[in-house]
Amino acid sequence: MTKTYPADEHASGIDSQSGLVRKATVTDLPGIVAIHQQAFRRFFLTRLGGEFLREYYHLVLNYRAGIILVSEGPSVLEGFACGFADPAEFYQLMWHNRRAFVLPVFAALLHHPSLATKVVKGVQRIQTPASEWPARSCELSSIAVATEVSSNGLGKGLIKAFLAQARWMDAQCVYLTTDADGNDAANAFYRNVGFQHTRRFLQRKGRWMNEYVIGMEAGNNCEKQS
């Protein structure tokens, strides 16, 4: 029987310096997309357009082991963290729901034909065999805060809540990848909150990535297969 993961009360009400970290709802999607577009302006997923991002985050929100947490300020969302346990299953779900992404991707390719190669590589990634993903792992796919609140410790509050949710889902570890070069602030942030650097790899020509892992228990290791 497939296990489902309802909201964890301990991970959905953590105070941060700026607001309350809670589980996201469908009504938060426009704010999440806006923060994503602001934080990752030149990134591949952003260039696929707002409708693609909305479908992506909506799929995570409905995935049985999806985690989307938001930090809510007095009137607007101030940040979010997104990821999922059992990443192989999530990417299988994404492929199964590929029709929802066809029109946004097609529209993006009409405006930016140069994205075609990245789209192909993206399709290949979500079709990675389940055996190549770490067992009982959780992927932190994105975390971002609004520019105006980026220096008040909000990111640490979101990470703390995300790790608590992953632990409650019985994940052995959480992993993420981020750009290795020209990305000193993000790399320092992940190290400061306890992530361990596990490898540096070439994602494509000219783009080196760092992988980080944090174990939910001492001694756990969930490095991805090369």
Does residue 220 fall inside a structural domain? no
CA-CA-CA-CA torsion sign (34, 36, 38, 41): negative
Number of independent structural domains in the chain: 1
Does residue 155 fall inside a structural domain? yes
3-state DSSP assignment of residue 123: helix
- Paired tokens of 220: 């756990």
Residue spans of the chain under pLDDT 70: 1-19, 150-152, 217-226
| Pair 64, 5: CB distance under 8 Å | yes
Domain carrying residue 64? 14-172
Contacts of 79 by beta carbon, 8 Å cutoff, 6+ apart: 35, 70, 71, 143, 144, 145, 146, 149, 154, 155, 158
Does residue 147 fall inside a structural domain? yes
Q: What is the pLDDT of residues 64-74, one digit of tens each?
A: 999 999 998 88
Q: What is the pLDDT of residues 33-80, one digit of tens each?
A: 999 999 998 899 999 999 999 999 999 999 999 999 999 888 789 999
pTM, two decimal places: 0.85
